[in-house]
Amino acid sequence: MSTLSDLVYAQGLSDAADVEWLHRLAGDCQLLADLAFADIVMWVPTADDSFVAVTHTRPGGAATLFYRDIVGERVRPQWRAQVRSAFLGGQIVDSASPDWFEETPTRVRAVPIVREHPRRGQKPAVIGVLTRHTNLGETRTPSRQQITFNDCADDLFGMVAAGDFPDLSAPTGPRRGAPRASDGLIRLDVDGMATFASPNALSAFNRLGFDDELEGQSLVEVVTDILPEKRQFDESLPLVVTGRAPWRADIEANGVTISLRTIPLRGHGTRIGAIVLCRDVSEMRHQEQELITKDATIREIHHRVKNNLQTVASLLRIQARRTHSDEARDALTQAMRRVSAIAVVHDTLAQGLAQNVDFDEVFQAVLKLVAEVAAAPNTHAHTRTVGRFGTLPSEYATPLALALTELVTNAVEHGLAGKEGDVEIITERTDQKLEVRVRDNGVGLPEGQVGRGLGTQIVRTLIQGELSGSIDWHTLEGQGTEVTIEIPLRYIGLDEA
């Protein structure tokens, strides 16, 4: 399904500012649908004088009229005149008589979407239309809550038509945990007095320690009495509880956390009150705190592991310097290099703690280490990388980095021993595989034979065993060696670079 931006831009009649406005409004369409107990559809004009649906939101507390999304569809003939009239006239247009949709009586309201021009004095622009589709087949005597919700919806629709909603100055914040109308709603008048509180809203404040009725109370005074003394609170809280700013804040008392979101209401340019949505997010905040604590613990463990690896590498270096046997010194030096490479990869992975990692960043750190450690007397190696590795799962970073460390080290120490030369690491990535070639212009393989040392065994084990890949050594024409590694991406679990 196409995104809102795709559908809007496809019509060729809107700019980036229009799309941003529509996105912000679409983020609150669920609120409008829940308050109006109706389906909400957003329409934008097309080049052929019609309209196309770019969002469709179903109500949470009422039956939907549309069992299938109509996003991407053209406006239906029975709604076209009404939608067009709202778009051209810039006024809310209600259907004169019930509209029948699939044998269900409905009432349709068309609301122009007006974007306030950023420069004062310039006329606001109508950039689309919202339609509210109310199911009349389930009409029954409305409760006081339903009447209040509908009144709030009407106020918001009026603000949409006046260019006062959405408010671009309001913080977007994460959608996870954001309060909805069904979680709890308080209606404030212009003085911040609660004129209505839904049962869920009252229950939420009861859990905070408030044991009276909210209606008729000043929300500022209620919150002030609830908050514990000498405890810091959210600096934006006064703006929220007075209903003067479109903001979000948390109230915490008695081990309970309530998230509040305020939507100031305006009529004909004058503030007339506010809607305050509230939700008990105690468990969610507790889980978030646990995740923060675990994340800090894991980072500390990674830091200590990295330090331990570096300590082991330092001990191996010291032991190698005190060893008189050339063979033992070489073995200890090789072990020190491998441990150092693992420490570098571990340090890079520990910084993000993500499932996937940018392997190009990891490999550059490893390559710098190899160039420093593997340089032998009278050997001058120039390393160069071509192409990109892309994103790889973190669990594959260590074996691949260690295998490439061995190959580059062999190219420097054996292929270019005692001379100046080049080492190239060439990477090609497709949807199916990752191919890496390590090429040098050194002496080449002895009689075309692959070595049988520990380094070669390590590379085979890492590539074939842990990465389910293949590896091939061969001598280049003229001079030098090229090692080709192929890793099927289907084993890695990524299908894109």
Q: How many domains does the chain have?
A: 4
- Higher per-residue confidence, 408 vs 56: 56
Give the torsion through C-alpha atoms of 356, 357, 358, 364, to 10 deg: -150
Instruction: Give a yes or no: residue 497 inside a domain.
Output: yes
pLDDT band per the 50, 70, 90 thresholds, residue 136: confident
Whether residue 142 sits in one domain with residue 27: yes
The domain of 274 spans 181-280
How confident is the prediction for the chain on average, in pLDDT? 83
Whether residue 444 sits in one domain with residue 298: no
Mean pLDDT for the stretch of residues 11-20: 88
Q: What is the pLDDT of residue 495?
A: 44
- Higher per-residue confidence, 365 vs 379: 365
- Higher per-residue confidence, 258 vs 123: 258
pLDDT band per the 50, 70, 90 thresholds, residue 379: low
> Do residues 161 and 112 make contact, with C-beta atoms less than 8 angstroms apart?
yes
Mean pLDDT for the stretch of residues 452-474: 82
Over the stretch 248-277, which tens digit does the pLDDT of each residue have? 888 888 889 999 999 999 998 899 999 999
Mean pLDDT for the stretch of residues 104-131: 83
Whether residue 419 sits in one domain with residue 370: yes
Rounded to 5 degrees, φ, ψ at 171 are -70, 140
Residue type, 392: L
Closest CA to 337 of 319, 321, 320, 313: 313
pLDDT band per the 50, 70, 90 thresholds, residue 497: very low
What's the pTM?
Answer: 0.67
Over the stretch 436-451, which tens digit does the pLDDT of each residue have? 998 888 777 665 556 6
Residue type, 122: Q
Instruction: Give a yes or no: residue 175 inside a domain.
Output: no
Mean pLDDT for the stretch of residues 78-94: 94
| pLDDT > 70 fraction of the chain, expressed in percent and rounded | 87
Mean pLDDT for the stretch of residues 143-161: 95
The CA distance from 40 to 57, in Å, is: 5
Mean pLDDT for the stretch of residues 416-426: 78
Buried b (16+ CB within 10 A) or exposed e, 327-361: eeeeebbbbbbbbbbbbbbbbbbbeeeeebbbbee
The CA distance from 316 to 331, in Å, is: 10
Q: What is the pLDDT of residue 158?
A: 95
Rounded to 5 degrees, φ, ψ at 44 are -125, 150
| pLDDT > 90 fraction of the chain, expressed in percent and rounded | 34
Question: Where is the domain boundary, 261, 280, 299?
Answer: 280
Lowest mean pLDDT among 247-256, 276-285, 322-331, 429-438: 322-331
The CA distance from 462 to 390, in Å, is: 19
Over the stretch 173-207, which tens digit does the pLDDT of each residue have? 665 668 999 999 999 999 999 999 999 999 999 99
Q: Which two tokens stand for residue 404?
A: 């490439």
Whether residue 235 sits in one domain with residue 107: no
Mean pLDDT for the stretch of residues 100-106: 80
Question: Where is the domain boundary, 321, 353, 385?
Answer: 353
Give the largest Cα separation in the chain, rounded: 101
Q: Which two tokens stand for residue 98?
A: 């019930």
Q: What is the CATH number of the domain that holds 119?
A: 3.30.450.280
Whether residue 144 sits in one domain with residue 38: yes
Q: What is the CATH number of the domain that holds 215?
A: 3.30.450.20
Whether residue 15 sits in one domain with residue 123: yes
Whether residue 362 sits in one domain with residue 316: no
